[in-house]
Amino acid sequence: MICPFCSLLCDATDLNEIDCGLRNKSLNQLAKFRSQLDPSFNESVLDPEMELAASIELLGIAKRVLITGRIASVQTARAAVALAMKLNGTIDCAEAGHIFKNVQAIQRAGINSVSLAEARDHADLLIVIGDDSLFDACPRIPHALHGQNMSRKTVLLLGGFTDKSMKAWQAAGFQPWSISCKLESVPSALLQWSNAMAQSSQDRMTSELFTALENAKYTAVLWSAASLFVEQADLWVERLLEWIASQNETKRCAALPWTSLDGTFQQVCTWLTGFPGRIRFQDGIPSFDTYAHSYENWLAASRDLDSDSVVIAIDETVATEPFRAKMKFGLDRKFYAIELTAGSVRFPTAVAGAEVAADIFRADQTLLAHLTPSHECDESRVRPAAYWLARLAP
C-alpha cells in the first residue's frame, strides 16, 4: 500500500498497524482540523455555497490569478491545470522549487534510473546522500529497501547524517557506513573515487569500506531534492548523474531520486502541457519559466500592484506547518486568497488518499496507484480539492 502522508510504498496490508511518527503526527493534525468543523467547536460555521459565489465573482474580474499549493493526486492536478487554463492564470505547485533541481538536470544530462523494487531486490550497494531531514519526511525508507538477500547489502551515507539515521538502517538489517561531508563536495568526491581508493590509508575500516564499494555489482544512488540544500542544485544533480552514467561502463549503477507528494502534480502537468509546472497561460497556451512563474515571485509582484489578484491555495495533504504559513500570507497582502485546505473553514478540503479516493505516484515516481480512503469524513462539508476547483470555474 502507498501511504498518503509520504507517498512511500509500505509492505503492509493495513497502514494503521505501522508505527510511524510522521503518520501519527499527520493523523493527529487531521483530527484537529476536523474538530474545527464541529459547530460546537466553531460558532461561525460558514456556508460554502455563499463563499463559492463570492469567490467566483472575484475570479471573474481578477486581472491576475495564481494556483499553487500542495497537490498530491492526479484528479486535483488535472482540475488545477484546467482551471488555470480557463482563467489565463499562473500555476506553480512546486513547493520551494525542489523538483526543478532534478528536472533541469535530467533535461541536460538524461538519467539512468531504477525503481524502488529493483533497487531493493538487486542492488548490493546503496549510496544515500543528504541528511536526517530525508528520514523526517519519509521515516520508513530503510524498511522499503529491505530485500531478501541482506547479507551483501551495504549502505553508504554521505552528507550530514547522524546516529539517528545510522540506527534506522541498522534496525532494518543493513550494514551502514557514514561519512560526514559537505553536500557540495559529493559529486566531485565520487568522480575521484578511484583516486581516493588508491591514496587512502589502509586501516581496517577504510579497507573494508573501499572493498565493499569496489566489489559492488549493482549500485543505487538515492537522494531527495527536498533535502538538497546546495547552491546551483541542478548543476549538482547533473554532475551526480554524469558520474552514475560513467559507472555503467563496467557495472550497473542507477539513480533513485526521491520526491515528495508534489511529484504527482509534476507528472500530470507534464502530460497535459509539456512542462512540469511554473506555467502562465495566455489564451490556453502555456508559457514556462522556472523563475518568473514561481509562486514566490508572483506573490512578491502582488505587493506592488492594486488588489486585483487572486490566489487559489490548495493543500490536500496534512502537515504540521499549514500552507498559509509556508506562503507567508500576511496582513499586508494585496490579493484575495481562496484556501482549499484541510484546515479551511470556508472550503474544507479532504486529504487525498486518507479521506477520499485518490490516484497518487509513489515517491520513486515509478508506480501510480489508486488509494482508497481509510478515514471517514463529513461529505456534506468536506470535499475533494478537485470538487472545489470544478465549482470555482466561472
For residues 278-304, give the mean pLDDT.
Answer: 87
For residues 209-227, give the mean pLDDT.
Answer: 84
For residues 46-72, give the mean pLDDT.
Answer: 88
Is residue 260 within 8 Å of 7, Cβ to Cβ?
Answer: yes
Is the model more confident about 277 or about 306?
A: 277
Q: Is the pLDDT of residue 20 over 70?
A: yes
For residues 225-238, give the mean pLDDT.
Answer: 88
Q: Is the pTM above the cut of 0.75?
A: yes
Cell of 22: 510522521
Is the model more confident about 137 or about 201?
A: 137
Average pLDDT in the chain: 83
Confidence at residue 202, expressed as pLDDT on a 0 to 100 scale: 46
Q: Is the pLDDT of residue 151 over 80?
A: no
Domain 100-258: homologous superfamily in CATH = Dimethylsulfoxide Reductase, domain 2 (3.40.228.10)
For residues 75-94, give the mean pLDDT.
Answer: 94
Please tell me whether residue 305 adopts helix, strand or coil conformation.
coil
Phi (first) and psi of residue 174, to 5 degrees: -85, 165
Confidence at residue 41, expressed as pLDDT on a 0 to 100 scale: 47
Confidence at residue 383, expressed as pLDDT on a 0 to 100 scale: 92
Q: What share of the chain is helix, strand, coil (3-state, %, to 5)?
A: 40, 20, 35
In which residue are the cell numbers 506592488 written?
Answer: 304
Confidence at residue 328, expressed as pLDDT on a 0 to 100 scale: 62
For residues 222-250, give the mean pLDDT.
Answer: 89
Confidence at residue 271, expressed as pLDDT on a 0 to 100 scale: 93
Confidence at residue 33, expressed as pLDDT on a 0 to 100 scale: 83
Is residue 127 within 8 Å of 98, Cβ to Cβ?
Answer: no
pLDDT band at 206 (very low <50, low <70, confident <90, very high): low
Q: Is the pLDDT of residue 141 over 80?
A: yes
Question: Which range among 160-169, 182-191, 332-341, 363-372 shows the weakest confidence by mean pLDDT?
Answer: 332-341
Question: Which DSSP state fits 79?
Answer: H
Q: Where are the domains of the chain?
A: 15-98+262-392, 100-258
Cβ-based neighbours of 195, under 8 Å, separated by 6 or more: none
Q: Is the pLDDT of residue 233 over 60?
A: yes
Cα distance between residue 257 and residue 276, in whole Å? 16
Confidence at residue 201, expressed as pLDDT on a 0 to 100 scale: 47
